[in-house]
Structure 1
C-alpha cells in the first residue's frame, strides 16, 4: 500500500451486479426500493422499473456527450431518484458524486469544484423537521460557480422546479420505455475504473475527494453486507423478503452502503426526513413506526439514534408491529454497553408478546469503518456471541491491528487502529492528487513501514482508537486525535461520554483536553441539558461523581459549562478537534467549515468562550 492492483485485466460494472437480480426478484413480486418521507408520501419501485429508469437516464446522459470518466454530480436527498441517478451514471462508466441538499453552497462547491462535473442532477428543495426548504437559489449559485457543468436535470421535490431555467425535468428524462431501454446493458469496465467520489472532511483545507473503483467496491460491499451483516437476497427470505434499512442522508457514506444492498438483490427501505420528529414535536418513534409499516428486517442507524431513543423513553411495544426485525445495525460513533443492553431488553419484551423467539436475543451488528475506503474494518458475525459495548470481530480481508505508541501490535490495550495489508476498496487515488502525496500524507505517513516485522511497506492509519480483546472482539474508543491524556493515563472520549450521558439530565456532551508543553492541561466539559434543567453545583457534583466512578478521578474535568448545543458534523460526529484548536488560539474560520456542520449556529458561543478563556490564560501567564 498504496498502489495495490487487484485483478488486472478483469472487467466489471457495479450496475451489472445489481441488474442480475431483476428477473428473479421481480418473479417473486418484490420491490427494489420502498420509500417514505416526512409528509407520509409512500412509493415503491419495482425491479424492472428500476432497470428501465436507469437505462432511460443513462441513454440521456450519453446523448448529452457524457463519456466514461466524466463526472456527474447529484444534489439530492435520500429518495429513489438519487439511486437511479447513481446507477445510470455508473452504468456508462461516468463517475458519480453526491452532496445532500442540507449542505450550504460553499460546502457543496468545496467538493464539486475539485472534480469539475459535466452534469448536475439536483432537486428544487427538501422538507426536514417539518420545514420546507426551497433550494432553487442555492442551485443557481452552484451552477454559476461550476463552469464545467454543461447540462442540468432537476427533480421536482417540493413544487418549485418550474422556476429553474435551462434544465430538463428528471421525470421526463426517466420516462423513456422503448427498445433501446429494453436492450440497454451496462458498459463493461476495467476492475479499477472509478465508480464514485466521496469526501472525507478534515478540520482545515478542502475535503479530500476520494475515488473508489467498481470492482473493489462491489467485493467489499458484498463481503460487509451479505456475509458479515447477514443481509440476504429478498427472494430467498420470508414472504416480505429481506427489507434492509440504514438511515442516512446522502452526505454520509452509509447512503452508499445502503445502496450496496441492491448488489445482493435486497429490497431497500429508505426514509427522507428527520428521524427525531420536529423541533416543535420531537418524536423518536418515527423510524420505528416506519420500520413497522414497511416490515423492515434489518434496521440500521447511527449509534446516537439508539441513545436518543433511550433518553426519550421510547417503548418499542408502542411503535407498531416490529416482529419483522431480526437484526440491528449501528455505526457512526461508539455504541455504549448501557444503550445496547437497553435495546436488547426492549426486544426481549417484544418477543414475549409476539412469539418471535429470534427477537428474544436480538442480534446487534455493530460496525466501524469509514468513508475513506467505503467499507468496514470491524463488524458482526452471526456465529459469534454478542457482548454489549463490543464489536464481534475484524472483517474478512481486513488485516486490522492495534499499534501502541511505538508502532508495535498489542492486544487488550488501546492504541491506533491500523490496517497492514491492502483492501480492494481502498482509494484508487484522491482526485487532483497527481503525485499521490496527499494520499500518502493522509493515511501512510505515520507508519511508513509495517512495525510488525514484515517489512511489507506502510500501514494504513485510520485515526481511531481501538482495543482488540483476547477474545478477538473489538472496542472503538473514538477518534485518536480527540483522546484524553490525563496524568499519564490515556482514555478515549467515548468512555467519558458514556458515563456523563447516562445521567438523565444530560442530553449531549463534549470534552476537550487542552494540553500545554510543560504545563498542566486544562480539560473543560460542555453539556447540553434537558428542558428546564440548570447546571447548578449539585448537578456538577453528580456529573463529576459519574466520571469518577465510571472512569477515574483523573478524568474529572477542570470545569463544566452548560451549552445550548454540542457542535456536530452533518453525519453526526462531535466536533472535538475543532473546538480544541479554537481553545488553543486558532481562528474559528481556520479550524471548522460551517457549511459541513449540522448546527453551525452554536459556534458563536464557543468563539466567545474561547476569547474569554484565552484572555484569562494570558492574564494568568
Structure 2
C-alpha cells in the first residue's frame, strides 16, 4: 500500500491539538537541550531518535525526571542484539515512579484507580490509599522473607488488589508474574512452575458473563504443584474465608498508616516481571523485562505516543494474563487515573465496554480489533447510545484493525476521533508502531513507527523495502526488549526466537508494509505465512474481507505445504446464527476475496467449523492448526493448556488424519 492508495486522511489533528500534545512540547524542549530537530514535525523527530539513539533515551529520562539513585556510566554499554546493556551503573525503582503522584498534596486524594465490575459497581482507590496499601504489603512481603529477585505470582483478575500486589512486589525488588483466573490449573502451572514463585496471590473465584466461577480447587492444586511457595495470600472476591495456611488480603494491607513505602533501589536491568508467550506449540516462553527498560519505554509510549497526563482516565479492556494489563498499570507513571474492568467484554450486552468508558469518563479507551468488529456486526451505535464526549482516542490492538473498523469508529463514535491502531508484542511489552497524536490517520494504517524504534520491512534477501510486504525488523535495541528468557541459561531460546533468520536485528514474525508516507500496514503473522506461487499473503487481509460478510462470525485460513509439493489453502468459517454455508455464500466469499484482494487469495476449500480456536489471550491459533492439518497428533501440535477450547482442535486433528489417508478434493 502506498500513499496514492489512500490519499485523504480519515482524521487530522487540529493545530491546537498538535500544539498541546506532549510530544510537541518534548520536541521543542529536546531541540533546545539535546539537539533534536526543531522543525520537520514527527518524521524529523523519529529520524533523530533512531540515528541518535543514546541522546534520545537520555532526553526521555530527563524529560520524565527519572530518579536514578546512582548515576549511569553511559546510556548503552553494549549495543548488540541480543545483549544490549542499558544505563549500566544506574539504580532506580519502577514502583517509586508509579506512585510519585501520591507525593503531591494537591492530588493525593484524587483517584489513582477506578474499578468497575459487571454489576456496574464502581469503586475508587486514591493515590494516597494506593501508596499506603503498597507500603503495608511491601513490609509484609519482606517479613515473609521475599528478597530482590524472588518471584511473586498473582492468580488474579483485573482488580485493584492486582495493581497493589504488582507495585509492592516491584517495591521490594522481587519479580512479578500473573495469570488470569480463567486460566485452568495446567495453563497456570506451565507458566508459574518455570519461575518457581515464593508467594502466590489468589482469588477464590471471579465473575464473568453474569456468573460466579469458583477457583478454590484450582488454587489448592496450584499450592500442591508449586513447592517453592512460602506463603499464599487469599483475595476473597467471592467472600469465602481464607483456606488453611493462607493469609487474608486484609491482614497484609492494613498497616503502615503514615509509613512511606521503602523502594529497593535495583540495577537498571534488574527483572521487573515475567510475561509469557501464548505457548501454543510448547511451554510458553517466560519473557523477562527489566525495571529500568519498562520504566523508560512506558514513559515514552504513554506520555508521548498516547499523550496521557494527570487529567486523563485510561481504560483498556484486558486481563492480567495479557501484556496490555501491565501496560495499563503503567498509566500511573504519567499521573493518569487508570480504569480497571473485571468481567466479560460483552455482558450484559455487546456495548458493555462503551458503557464502562461512559461511566468512568475515559479519555483514552483501548480494546481489541475483534471487539470493534463485533460491535460493527451487531449494529451497535456507541456515539448515539452513550455519552462518549470525553473520549479523545480509541486505540486497538491484538490483531490488525480492518479498514471497515476505522470507518465504523469514525461514523459511530465521533467524526473527530483519533483512532490509534497499534502493534507490538508481549516480547517487548510495548509498541513498534502505532499512536502519534500529531499525525493524520489513514484508513487501514498504523500512523508511524514509534520513537527510538528503527522499524523496517525486509525482503528475504535482508534488504529494506518500501511499499511492499516484508518481515517486521527492528534494527536497533529497545530498552524493553527482554533481558533474557527464564530457564534459558545459554540464551539459545531467546536468540532463536528473534535473531536466527537475520543475525543482529530483531525479526518479530509479522508481515508489514511501510508506506512512502511513513505509515505502517500489518498483514498478519509471518510464521504462518500464506504463500501461493511464491507470493506471500497475510491472513489478516483475508479475515478482514471474509468477516465483513454478515453470515460469517469468524474465520481461519491456513496454508499447508503437502508432501507431493502441492499447496492446500482451506478457509474455515464459523457462521453467524441462522446462516447456512450454501452455494450462494460460498460464491459470495470467493467473489469478495477475488475482487477485493486477488485470485490468489481465494481458498481451495471453504469448510464450516463449530468454532475458531484461540489462545487464552484471544488470538487465533494458526500454526498449531497447520500442524494438525499436516497430520501431527494433537498432543504434539499444541499445548492444550494454552487454548481457550481445546475440543475445537479435534475437528482439525480429525481432518488432518483423514487427509493423511485420503487427500481431499479441492472443492473451490
Distance 1:403 1:516 in 2: 27
Alignment of 1:598 onto 2:640: no
Distance 2:104 2:425 in 1: 33
RMSD value over aligned CA atoms? Answer: 1.6
Residues 153-178 of structure 1: CA deviation (Å, up to 9, x unaligned) = 0100112344x221011122111134
Alignment of 1:15 onto 2:92: no
Distance 1:137 1:29 in 2: 39
Counterpart selection for 1:429 from 476, 481, 484: 484
The answer for the alignment partner of 1:407 in structure 2 is: 462
Distance 1:27 1:85 in 2: 22
Q: Mind listing any 5+ residue stretches in structure 2 that lack a counterpart?
A: 1-80
Q: Report the alpha carbon displacement of residue 338 of structure 1 after superposing the two structures with TM.
A: 1.0
Q: Report the alpha carbon displacement of residue 6 of structure 1 after superposing the two structures with TM.
A: 1.0
The answer for the alignment partner of 1:222 in structure 2 is: 299
Contact 1:123 1:161 in 2 (8 A): no
The answer for the alignment partner of 2:70 in structure 1 is: none
Counterpart selection for 1:504 from 541, 544, 550: 550
Name whichever of 145-154 and 193-202 sits farther off: 193-202
Aligned residues: 586
The answer for the alignment partner of 1:203 in structure 2 is: 280
Length-normalised TM-score, structure 2: 0.86
Contact 1:25 1:47 in 2 (8 A): no
Alignment of 1:388 onto 2:473: no
Contact 1:310 1:339 in 2 (8 A): yes
Contact 1:368 1:376 in 2 (8 A): yes
The answer for the alignment partner of 1:6 in structure 2 is: 86
Secondary structure in 1 aligned to 2:663?
helix
**Closer, same or farther: CA 384–10 of 1 in aligned 2, 3 Å:** same
Residues 105-164 of structure 1: CA deviation (Å, up to 9, x unaligned) = 1111111111111111111111111221111101011110111001110100112344x2
Taking CA–CA contacts closer than 8 Å with sequence separation of 6 or more, which of the two structures ends up with the larger relative contact order?
2
Counterpart selection for 1:169 from 248, 256, 268: 248
The answer for the alignment partner of 1:355 in structure 2 is: none
The answer for the alignment partner of 2:314 in structure 1 is: 244
Write out aligned runs for 1:244-263 (5 A).
244-263=314-333
Distance 1:129 1:9 in 2: 49
Contact 1:568 1:597 in 2 (8 A): yes
The answer for the alignment partner of 1:308 in structure 2 is: 374
Q: Report the alpha carbon displacement of residue 302 of structure 1 after superposing the two structures with TM.
A: 1.0
Alignment of 1:538 onto 2:584: yes
The answer for the alignment partner of 1:295 in structure 2 is: 361
Residues 43-83 of structure 1: CA deviation (Å, up to 9, x unaligned) = 10000000000011100000011111111100000000000
The answer for the alignment partner of 1:583 in structure 2 is: 629
Distance 1:484 1:433 in 2: 31
Q: Mind listing any 5+ residue stretches in structure 1 that lack a counterpart?
A: 235-240, 349-359, 449-457
Write out aligned runs for 1:472-511 (5 A).
472-511=518-557
Name whichever of 305-314 and 602-611 sits farther off: 602-611
Q: Report the alpha carbon displacement of residue 487 of structure 1 after superposing the two structures with TM.
A: 2.3
Length-normalised TM-score, structure 1: 0.92
The answer for the alignment partner of 1:53 in structure 2 is: 133
**Closer, same or farther: CA 513–618 of 1 in aligned 2, 3 Å:** closer
Write out aligned runs for 1:125-204 (5 A).
125-162=205-242, 164-179=243-258, 182-204=259-281
Q: Report the alpha carbon displacement of residue 524 of structure 1 after superposing the two structures with TM.
A: 0.8
Write out aligned runs for 1:67-146 (5 A).
67-146=147-226
Counterpart selection for 2:342 from 272, 297, 317: 272
Contact 2:427 2:482 in 1 (8 A): yes
Residues 223-249 of structure 1: CA deviation (Å, up to 9, x unaligned) = 1111011112x2xxxxxx310001101
**Closer, same or farther: CA 25–508 of 1 in aligned 2, 3 Å:** farther
Distance 2:623 2:350 in 1: 29
Distance 1:69 1:23 in 2: 27
Name whichever of 590-599 and 540-549 sits farther off: 590-599
Contact 1:244 1:298 in 2 (8 A): yes
Q: Report the alpha carbon displacement of residue 10 of structure 1 after superposing the two structures with TM.
A: 1.0
Residues 431-484 of structure 1: CA deviation (Å, up to 9, x unaligned) = 121111111111111112xxxxxxxxx111111111101110001111101221
